[in-house]
Structure 1
Amino acid sequence: MSSEQPSCGATRSCCSTPGGRRVNMGAPRRPPSAGFKSVTSSFKSPARADASQCTKITPEEEVNNLKRRLKELDAEIDTLVAEGYRLEELGQHIDLLHEYNDIKDIGQTLLGHIAARRGTTTRELYGHFGLELND
């Protein structure tokens, strides 16, 4: 090991050698970059929002928008209740949807394993088992 190589193998800019001497390892050097922009140029994000699309609203306007949205949602709830839906059923429906998604995920995993063992695609197995691609 050279006297310039740190004993820990690290590539830090300053480190101790086995003899306890501090060695400045320096910053890594880059080759000259001909044709590239200067690193001192400002960064311009490609995802920058267009200033014309950014509209500033006052807190009062935001509160009014939220109150309007609340009234819309209350009206929608009233419509659903009038059609015979009950709020208590919502939790049951959510639980059933979770169970359905879990079963579907297990089925997809099994189809993937079968396809891998047969050397085919899951798309081909859908037809074999009489399933629709959007199932």
Structure 2
Amino acid sequence: MNLEQTSVDNGEQRKSISSTPEGNELKRGALKRTPFSKLKKVNSNFKSPGQVTKTTKLSPEEEVEELERSRRQLDAEIAQLESEGYKVEELDDHIDMLHEYNDIKDMGQSLLGRLAALRGTTTRDLYSHFGLELDD
């Protein structure tokens, strides 16, 4: 492989690929991010969890039957959860509160980052300065 540039930033290795067979798929000079790890393959293709791949092709009738079976199973699970006292409205409230919490946390992280930049320090140092845990 012909590498123009290799650098290591925060435990990650960046490679700029020029004229290689692998590089033909990437634009010239594009960066390829590779986490530093010897334990697992890190350059595998991305597989979206939202896409379901089926190995066998179902007929339209079989697909409808499979979807109806799945719907009945989900309806049974919903009925069981409702019998245990869970309510759909509560779930929506919890999701809304989680979104609000995440938004507030993101703003706090942004402010800590800006403050760290102004003070010429790291956010890790600011966590200890303000008495915060790193998992906060």
Q: Give the secondary structure class of the aligned counterpart of 1:56.
A: coil
Distance 1:67 1:101 in 2: 36
Two-structure CA RMSD over aligned residues (Å)? 2.5
Written as runs of structure 1 = structure 2, the 5 A alignment for 1:28-67 is 54-67=55-68
Using structure 2 for the length normalisation, give the TM-score: 0.52
- 2:74 aligned partner: 73
- Structure 1 residue 91 and structure 2 residue 92: aligned? yes
Aligned to 1:107: 108
Instruction: Provide, for residues 87-118 of structure 1, a one-character-per-residue CA deviation record: whole Å limited to 9, x for no partner.
Output: 22222222212211111111111111111112
Relative to 1, partners in 2 of residues 1:105 and 1:68: Cα closer, same or farther, differing over 3 Å?
A: same
Which stretch shifts more, 79-88 or 124-133?
Answer: 124-133
TM-score (ref. length: structure 1): 0.52
Amino acid of the structure 1 residue aligned with 2:101: Y
The number of aligned residues is 86
SS in 2 for 1:57: coil
Task: For 2:56, give the aligned amino acid.
Answer: T
Offset of 1:73 from its aligned partner? 1.4
- Secondary structure at the aligned position of 1:106 is classed as helix
How many angstroms apart in 1 are the aligned matches of 2:61 and 2:77?
24
CA 1:61–1:130 in structure 2 vs 1: closer, same or farther (change >3 Å)?
A: farther
User: Structure 1 residues 114 and 84 mapped into 2: Cα distance closer, same or farther (>3 Å)?
Assistant: same
What percentage of residue pairs aligned between the two structures are identical? 65
Which has the higher Rg, Structure 1 or Structure 2? 1
Which residue in 2 is equivalent to 1:119?
120
Gapped regions of structure 2 (runs ≥ 5): 1-20, 22-44, 46-53
- Could you list the per-position Cα deviations for residues 2-46 of structure 1 after superposition, in whole angstroms to 9, with x for gaps in the alignment? xxxxxxxxxxxxxxxxxxxxxxxxxxxxxxxxxx9xxxxxxxxxx
Cα distance in structure 1, aligned partners of 2:74 and 2:111: 41
Deviations 1:70-100 (CA, angstroms, capped at 9, x unpaired): 1221122112112211122222222212211
Unpaired runs of at least 5, structure 1: 1-35, 37-46, 48-52
Instruction: Flag the structure with more relative contact order, 1 or 2, with Cα contacts below 8 A and sequence separation at least 6.
Output: 2
